[in-house]
Amino acid sequence: MQIKIIQEPDEDHLIIRPFEQGSEPGNQEMFKAEKGEMWWYSSRELWLGLGKEPKLPGITKIFRSLFFKRKDRWPTDITLDARGKTAEWVGNAVNGIILGGYNLQLYKTEPKPLSDFFRSGTLFVVGNGHAEVSVAAEAAQKTALVQSRIMDLMNAPANYKKPETLAEWAKKSGEANGYSVQILEKTQLEAQAMHALLAVSKGSAEPPVMIVSEYKPEHYTKTVALVGKGVTFDTGGISIKPAANMHLMKSDMGGAAAVLGTVELAAQLKLPVRIVGVIPSTENAVDGVGMKPGDVIGSYAGKTIEVIDTDAEGRLILADGLHYALKQFQPDVLIDLATLTGSVIQTLGYEAAGLFTPSDNLAADLIKAGDETGERLWRLPVWDEYKEEINSDIADVKNYHGKPLAGAIVAAKFLEVFTAAHPAWAHLDIAGTAFGDTEFAPGRAGTAYGIRLLISYLSKLT
């Protein structure tokens, strides 16, 4: 799809005119401009209701829903009348329009048709401030295309998505977008004493990897390390999960997906921030040689860990990833993302991810970015009173407290042990937001959560 900014609408194209409630044209009793409402004013003019005082993330959802519902029926050329709208508004609308054409039918032999508009059509945008609107539209298009690639990755099943697959994705992206990628294979992980990652991988025939990406602009003042959990399938190991929803555990690499997408998009947008992406990746499978409850394992940080539950594996591989990022890159800011606990879903549902950080400033910046993008965060405590929950009698720390309370908080306290008390560390538990029920898929699907959030945060970091 091409995007062109124009000064006046072309009457030969289908024109979409958005209206907020209270600003809709008079003498149209059938059109109230309610959120998502459509009214065909003529065969060439579609009115779209935005509701009352819509926020920018809502604009994205409204346009995505509109274009998704009719994704096989759009003409090749469409004009969006955005006169009087800000460049930021246009960016959100364009992002939603492109995402409306996302095709989830990854492996169908006879996929449903998609209109030519999404493949080879043109979106004409009538807007004020030609240069600003053009920049916003271009950034929104790049963002949506990266989000779509990440949703493909999230939605792929485990037989199409192994640790090696994530590594190849990163290498190809680095080559295409001008950033460096290093893959630490199993022998290198052994040489570097990545014992926690290696322990989780023991039950799988697929070898683990550590993906290390680095986007380094010519001029920067800050280095941000992003660490993502990359468990490409999670059976729970010996502490095996129930069978009912285990097939959804193809999504347990949502943190890795967010990091991959953020690094790629940051490179495309040429953000003036050095960004390091560290992704420990493995399967967590069941095998006679696999890690067992009660085992004591080592870690890259040199600390010993008593494994109480092999299904609390994400925090184990993140322990090695966090400390590697700290030791090798000395970042100013350290952020990890992981589909880590069911506890955070019980707490926040599917509307927000859990945010854990000792830094009030970092919390405020991330929450603001979440509110701006609609990828919301809610801060939960990391008070030292929770430390006793990870005390072990025989090791430095244990990976699970075994209690039906404060599960997400205790997981964060475990990760904190491996951050060397970094003052600007944040943990994002995205278990409820990275993969879930949406109107855009018949079943649960990937959302690419975290990419817009992090890009918004990073773009303001100086």
Among candidates 323, 332, 283, which has minimal Cα distance to 414?
A: 323
Positive/negative CA dihedral, 265, 270, 273, 275:
positive
Q: State the Cα angle at 161 between 159 and 165, rounded to 5°.
A: 130
Please, which residues have CB within 8 angstroms of residue 364's CB and are 6 or more apart in sequence? Answer: none
Q: Are strands 305-306 and 397-398 parallel, antiparallel or unpaired?
A: parallel
- Report the Cα–Cα distance between both ends of the chain, in Å, rounded: 33
Give the position of tokens 């959804």: 248
How far is the CA of 242 from the CAs of 97, 234, 237, 246, in angstroms? Answer: 38, 11, 11, 7
For 43-70, letters b (16+ CB in 10 Å) and e give eebbbbbbbeebebbbbbbbbbbbbbee
Give the Cα separation of 399 and 392 in Å (integer): 9
Give the Cα separation of 245 and 247 in Å (integer): 5
- AA identity, residue 176: A
H-run or E-run covering 64? helix 56-69
Give the Cα separation of 337 and 425 in Å (integer): 11
Positions marked catalytic: 241, 315
Give the Cα separation of 374 and 66 in Å (integer): 18
